[in-house]
């Protein structure tokens, strides 16, 4: 895997994993050089042949190299430029040439900055073939082809010498090979190899050093993303959690998150932020692949230590004057001066730089640890070449214990993503499903559960059901359900069905239940797979839910749109060729709707919520005709219209509904509060349009039930064109 895609895969790993489940390696090639590949439709559950461009994988790889918002990050770009300028000037002041090496040049932006600052020679390397080709084109279009030499190689493959890639070693290195964990893109080995093989002694490195910060916190809200808690109703345990789940270390992958958007009132800091690891990137101190550090620290508050917040910062120059920080708002270096001016944290959050390529991270402690204010504890950090992990010991220690990187041993953290675990812990949501079940369950109830990891379905037994069948086609999810069945002594009343071909006949069941949730679903409406499964039975069989409503709202995202926004002129350099490449590749490989946890991305409502389509889940979907609908949605407040947010409301019965969208009434012109335990659908407009109350959005929807195809179309109009 190319290092620079690692952070994207982390942020969208559940999407990527689902996609891997859909597509198979088997394919056949037509004479016109398109490809037929097998794909599984997440709505119908059927496998069919799908025609794709023979270069589909190539286009998808290019689309992924947009680096999200990285090149839109003005502070990042500006501070790299300032540090480069200082480095080149220092070499010239010392009577030396300024020979720059740019590792992982991408679009060539940092190399062009070096050229603009007067570097004597610039060698840029880029391993990703499509990007290397376009970097050459961009460099030429900006008039730097005579100053920048681009090598299509990894830096570890560069040669130095008369006939080598570089005639001599460089004396300035500039590179950006960092991810949310700082070291996850192979930064340690990249810097180490550069110092050993590609740089002169006393070279200047941009950035000069890096520091990883850790803050120990208490938060039951944070814990909700990591382990499944018992399901309760009216202070009664309906479903207990096994010791295996409680004691599991959790997922190995880092939990990257926009901590600035996490409510400050939802956690308690137990330690002030601590600099746990410092990396000297200048080459004067060795960079170790494996390291452990222990800090003896006194807590600032008493409580239960649940997790650690992590972020990092970069000192860009040798004089320690240029700092680039990824801290959340409450610890950001720019926050205190702004607070002194009377600004609130919410106001400051709108002013500090926003990044999606570098976020903050949560590390869950292997053991919840009680701490007492002013009683010294040991905070221990570990890292290997790519990852970090932590533990906390409630006493001072003299010898740092070894600790293996945490991995999941209970299946739960492998089977389900963190948003799903949080969903299973959502007490308000669970209570609604339980109330709906209580209305239907009797001693004669035989229930069929049609959802993956349907713990709520298991509660039907505790509510008095005679028996339940649980459909679990996914092996990992099935193992999790078996564990919960055993822990709660439900084996005699629960039968697990492994295949849709083995579903019980209609005369054996009298209630169909679903949340609905399926591991293979990427966007929320793909959970309508429940409808297809339920349609194997007649409408006479009662079901929960009975209906679904697909909803939308027109929004102005404060920042999220940057992950797809074109660059145009970036820091004075023309990157429009890059925009064209990314857009053309995205058009051929990406879905127009993607899933995002919108609670992390502030958005202002430009319209009121509108109904796109209602679905009666008591009908047979296979007998349903095609649905084509359209409407004009009025804009109620002015703003920069850059997206549409989509979600599904599930009607459990005539009185109870569960929403996967806003958690409070949506008001035009106000920020929307989103359910934190689902990923909503997002349509981002290619062109951002300033709209007013005279504007409308044209919305159209197409659903072909027989093949399971759903399509949306949104366009911006003015009222006089309505």
CA–CA dist 653, 547 (Å, integer)? 8
Place of tokens 């989509």: 646
Phi-psi sector, 53: left (phi>0), alpha (psi -120 to 50), beta: beta
Give the residues across from 512 on adjacent strands.
448, 543
Contact (Cβ atoms closer than 8 angstroms) between residue 277 and residue 312: no
CA distances from 408 to 208, 240, 256 (A): 36, 19, 17
Largest CA distance in the chain: 91
CA–CA dist 308, 327 (Å, integer)? 13
Residue 506 known to be catalytic: no
- Closest to 676 in 3D by CA, of 354, 306, 261, 241: 261
Active-site residue among 61, 126, 185, 600?
185
Beta carbons within 10 angstroms of residue 315's beta carbon: 21
Token couple for 696: 């409308």
CA–CA dist 241, 243 (Å, integer)? 7
73: Cα separation from own chain's centroid = 18
Contact (Cβ atoms closer than 8 angstroms) between residue 403 and residue 382: yes
Contact (Cβ atoms closer than 8 angstroms) between residue 216 and residue 379: yes
Contact (Cβ atoms closer than 8 angstroms) between residue 423 and residue 678: yes
Angle ∠(48,53,59) on CA atoms, nearest 5: 115
Active-site residue among 61, 126, 176, 515?
176
Place of tokens 């992924």: 64
Tell me how far apart the terminal alpha carbons of the chain are, to the nearest angstrom: 48
Catalytic residues: 176, 185
């Amino acid at each position: 895997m190319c290092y620079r895609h690692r952070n994207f895969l982390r942020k969208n790993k559940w999407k990527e994993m689902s996609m891997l489940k859909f597509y198979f390696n088997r394919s056949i090639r037509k004479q016109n050089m398109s490809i037929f590949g097998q794909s599984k439709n997440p709505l119908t559950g059927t496998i069919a042949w799908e025609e794709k461009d023979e270069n589909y994988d190539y286009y998808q790889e290019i689309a992924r190299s947009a680096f999200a918002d990285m090149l839109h990050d003005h502070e990042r770009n500006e501070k790299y430029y300032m540090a480069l300028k200082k480095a080149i000037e220092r070499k010239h002041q010392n009577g030396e040439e300024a020979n720059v090496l740019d590792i992982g040049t991408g679009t060539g932006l940092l190399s062009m900055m070096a050229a603009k600052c007067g570097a004597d020679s610039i060698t840029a390397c880029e391993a990703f073939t499509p990007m290397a080709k376009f970097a050459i084109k961009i460099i030429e279009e900006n008039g730097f082809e005579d100053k920048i030499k681009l090598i299509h190689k990894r830096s570890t493959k560069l040669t130095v010498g008369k006939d080598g890639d570089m005639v001599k070693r460089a004396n300035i290195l500039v590179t950006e090979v960092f991810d949310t964990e700082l070291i996850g893109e192979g930064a340690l080995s990249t810097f180490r190899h550069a110092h050993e093989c590609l740089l002169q002694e006393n070279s200047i490195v941009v950035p000069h050093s890096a520091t990883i910060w850790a803050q120990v916190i208490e938060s039951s809200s944070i814990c909700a993303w990591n382990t499944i808690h018992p399901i309760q109703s009216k202070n009664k345990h309906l479903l207990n959690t096994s010791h295996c789940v409680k004691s599991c270390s959790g997922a190995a992958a880092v939990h990257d998150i926009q901590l600035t958007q996490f409510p400050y009132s939802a956690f308690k800091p137990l330690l002030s932020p601590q600099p746990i690891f410092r990396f000297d990137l200048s080459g004067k101190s060795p960079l170790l692949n494996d390291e452990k550090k222990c800090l003896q620290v006194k807590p600032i508050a008493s409580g239960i230590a649940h997790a650690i917040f992590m972020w990092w910062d970069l000192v860009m120059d040798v004089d320690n004057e240029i700092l680039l920080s990824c801290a959340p708002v409450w610890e950001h270096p720019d926050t205190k001066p702004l607070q002194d001016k009377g600004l609130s944290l919410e106001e400051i959050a709108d002013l500090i730089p926003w990044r999606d390529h570098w976020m903050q991270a949560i590390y869950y402690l292997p053991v919840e640890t009680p701490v007492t204010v002013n009683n010294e504890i040991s905070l221990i950090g570990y890292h290997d070449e790519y990852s970090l992990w932590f533990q906390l010991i409630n006493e001072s220690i003299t010898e740092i214990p070894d600790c293996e990187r945490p991995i999941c041993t209970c299946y739960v953290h492998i089977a389900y993503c963190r948003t799903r675990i949080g969903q299973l812990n959502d007490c308000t949501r669970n209570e609604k499903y339980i109330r709906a079940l209580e209305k239907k369950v009797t001693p004669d109830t035989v229930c069929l559960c049609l959802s993956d990891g349907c713990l709520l379905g298991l509660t039907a037994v505790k509510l008095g059901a005679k028996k339940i069948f649980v459909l679990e086609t996914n092996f990992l999810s099935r193992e999790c359900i078996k564990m919960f069945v055993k822990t709660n002594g439900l084996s005699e009343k629960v039968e697990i069905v492994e295949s849709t071909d083995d579903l019980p006949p209609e005369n054996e069941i009298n209630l169909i239940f679903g949340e609905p949730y399926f591991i293979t679903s990427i966007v929320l409406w793909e959970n309508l797979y429940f409808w297809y499964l339920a349609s194997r039975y007649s409408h006479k069989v009662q079901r929960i839910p009975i209906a679904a409503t697909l909803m939308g709202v027109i929004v102005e995202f404060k920042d999220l749109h940057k992950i797809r926004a074109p660059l145009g002129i970036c820091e004075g350099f023309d990157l429009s060729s890059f925009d064209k490449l990314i857009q053309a590749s995205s058009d051929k490989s990406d879905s127009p709707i993607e899933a995002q946890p919108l609670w992390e991305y502030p958005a202002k409502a430009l319209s009121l919520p509108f109904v796109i389509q209602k679905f009666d889940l008591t009908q047979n979907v296979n007998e349903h005709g095609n649905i084509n609908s359209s409407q004009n949605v009025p804009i109620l407040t002015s703003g920069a219209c850059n997206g549409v947010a989509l979600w599904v409301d599930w009607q459990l019965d005539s009185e109870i509904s569960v929403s996967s969208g806003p958690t409070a009434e949506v008001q035009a012109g106000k920020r929307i509060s989103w359910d934190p335990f689902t990923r909503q659908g997002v349509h981002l407009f290619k062109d951002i349009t300033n709209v007013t109350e005279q504007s409308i959005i044209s919305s159209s929807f197409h659903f072909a039930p027989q093949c399971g195809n759903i399509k949306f179309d949104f366009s911006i109009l003015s009222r006089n064109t309505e």
